[in-house]
């Protein structure tokens, strides 16, 4: 009989930590398969403001790049969202039904999603959430053509760091003193 299969859904910091600990404590005990809705390996989400602001070497955010998973024989379905769990047959299905992974043990490490308050206009161009590397790229690209940014929510500490991060990305046709970054808290 082969090794039991561990399926982990989510390649964020929690999912990565689970497989890192399993590899360290019981190497070769499980075949490990992962679903990752984001297409790359694991990065430190907490440092995204430094990437957005261009304050530090973006390479520093990587915790477990995809090569780490490959080196540890962990197969990652990159960019594939798990959509259904067939509890009776112990199978996770994703990617519009194209990917299925039978499991002996299943760990859900799917984190959280940004909450967008039900405000009119949030679906318009130029309105972003800030959670992923792709969000950083999209915000930075849009800011290059913008003079003014408004940051809503994020808590006392994060609203400041997000504002500071967006500022250097904004266009400044009349000099830095023309920047306007407004921060607004939400409840």
Ligand X SMILES: Cc1cc2nc3c(=O)[nH]c(=O)nc-3n(C[C@H](O)[C@H](O)[C@H](O)COP(=O)(O)OP(=O)(O)OC[C@H]3O[C@@H](n4cnc5c(N)ncnc54)[C@H](O)[C@@H]3O)c2cc1C
Residues that bind ligand X (CB under 6 A): 9-15, 35-38, 45-46, 48-49, 81-82, 109-112, 130-131, 158
If the CB atoms of residues 14 and 146 are measured against ligand X, the closer one turns out to be 14
Bridge partners, 91 (sequence order): 86, 102
What is the distance between the alpha carbons of residues 97 and 81, in angstroms, rounded to a whole number?
10
Least distance from ligand X to the Cβ atom of residue 49, Å = 6
Least distance from ligand X to the Cβ atom of residue 178, Å = 26
Q: Which two tokens stand for residue 151?
A: 């940051």
Q: How many residues does the chain have?
A: 187
If the CB atoms of residues 82 and 149 are measured against ligand X, the closer one turns out to be 82
Least distance from ligand X to the Cβ atom of residue 11, Å = 5
If the CB atoms of residues 113 and 176 are measured against ligand X, the closer one turns out to be 113
Cα end-to-end distance, the chain, whole Å = 54
Please say whether the dihedral angle defined by the alpha carbons of residues 77, 83, 89 and 90, taken in this order, is positive or negative: positive
């Amino acid at each position: 009989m082969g090794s039991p299969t561990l399926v982990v859904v989510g390649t964020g910091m929690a999912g990565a930590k689970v497989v890192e600990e399993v590899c360290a404590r019981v190497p070769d005990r499980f075949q490990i398969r992962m679903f990752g809705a984001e297409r790359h390996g694991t990065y430190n989400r907490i440092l995204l403001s430094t990437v957005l602001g261009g304050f530090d070497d973006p390479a520093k955010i990587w915790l477990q790049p995809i090569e780490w998973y490959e080196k540890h024989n962990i197969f990652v379905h990159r960019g594939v969202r798990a959509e259904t769990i067939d509890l009776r047959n112990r199978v996770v299905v994703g990617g519009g039904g194209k990917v299925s992974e039978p499991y002996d043990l299943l760990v859900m490490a799917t984190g959280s999603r940004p909450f967008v308050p039900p405000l009119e206009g949030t679906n318009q161009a130029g309105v972003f959430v800030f959670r992923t590397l792709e969000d950083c790229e999209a915000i930075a690209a849009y800011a290059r053509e913008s003079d003014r940014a408004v940051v809503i929510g994020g808590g006392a500490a994060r609203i400041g760091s997000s504002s500071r991060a967006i500022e250097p990305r904004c266009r400044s046709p009349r000099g830095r003193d023309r920047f306007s970054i407004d921060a607004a808290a939400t409840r």
